[in-house]
Amino acid sequence: MEGKNTALLFITVIFLSIAPKLSIAQSDSTGTFWKPTPRNYEVKQAVEIETLFPMFFYGGWHIGLGYRYKKFRFRVSVINGGDYNVDVQSLDGTIDGYKRYYTTSPGIFLGYNVWKNLEVYGYYERHTFEVEQLSTGEKQDIPSNDVGIGISYQFFIGRTFYIQPGIHSYFRSEQSTTFTNNQTYTIPTFELTPIVRIGARLWKKY
């Protein structure tokens, strides 16, 4: 419940901060609230802040800060997944008897807008996963250097707020950890997951 309250608070703060600008977007002769002007993806520079907001519903959090230069976009982010089970992202599905969580982990992203707001990007994330053995409650950490390719699209509401759904792929070397009862957990080497980020364009230059 605490994670849900935090998510609602975060969304409320973003909405209140951009509400005065939405009326301007609605009255703009070159665009409407639901159909933003082409200038939203023709900016020469922009600074954006965003969050993978579903993490808040699991008691975790995520924040990303991005800088756009023409069609290129550089972003840094930090994630903590709370009690979200990362194994559901694996092509092999969940691993019986275990759950795996994101602890606080940083990442860097470099993207390119191939068409309007459609962005393709590569990234590196230094994850530290916490693996829980459900039968004993024992937990072990597994550090992992994850690289991947993602694709997502920014749907703007007005000129400031956006929703960005996409798909991420993760590749990593095989690693494992052994628990005190001599049972071994091996981390998946490939994962594919849908994502939804919400964000705001804090500053832009045409």
Alpha-helical regions (H) of the chain: 2-27
Strand runs (DSSP E) across 52-117, as ranges? 61-69, 72-80, 98-102, 105-115
Q: How many Cβ atoms from other residues are within 10 Å of residue 96's Cβ?
A: 7
Q: Which CATH class is domain 2-205?
A: mainly beta
Q: Mean pLDDT over residues 170-191, rounded?
A: 94
Q: What is the CA radius of gyration of the chain?
A: 19
The whole-number pLDDT of residue 35 equals: 52
The whole-number pLDDT of residue 40 equals: 54
pLDDT per position as a tens digit, 85-104? 999 887 767 788 999 999 99
pLDDT per position as a tens digit, 112-158? 999 989 999 999 999 999 999 999 999 999 999 999 999 999 999 98
H, E, C per residue of 118-172: EEEEEEEEEEEEEEEECCCCCEEEEEEEEEEEEEEECEEECCCEEEEEEEEEEEC
Q: Which three-class secondary structure state does DSSP give residue 20?
A: helix
Domain extent listing, the chain: 2-205
151 forms beta bridges with 120, 167
Evaluate if residue 22 carries a pLDDT over 50.
no
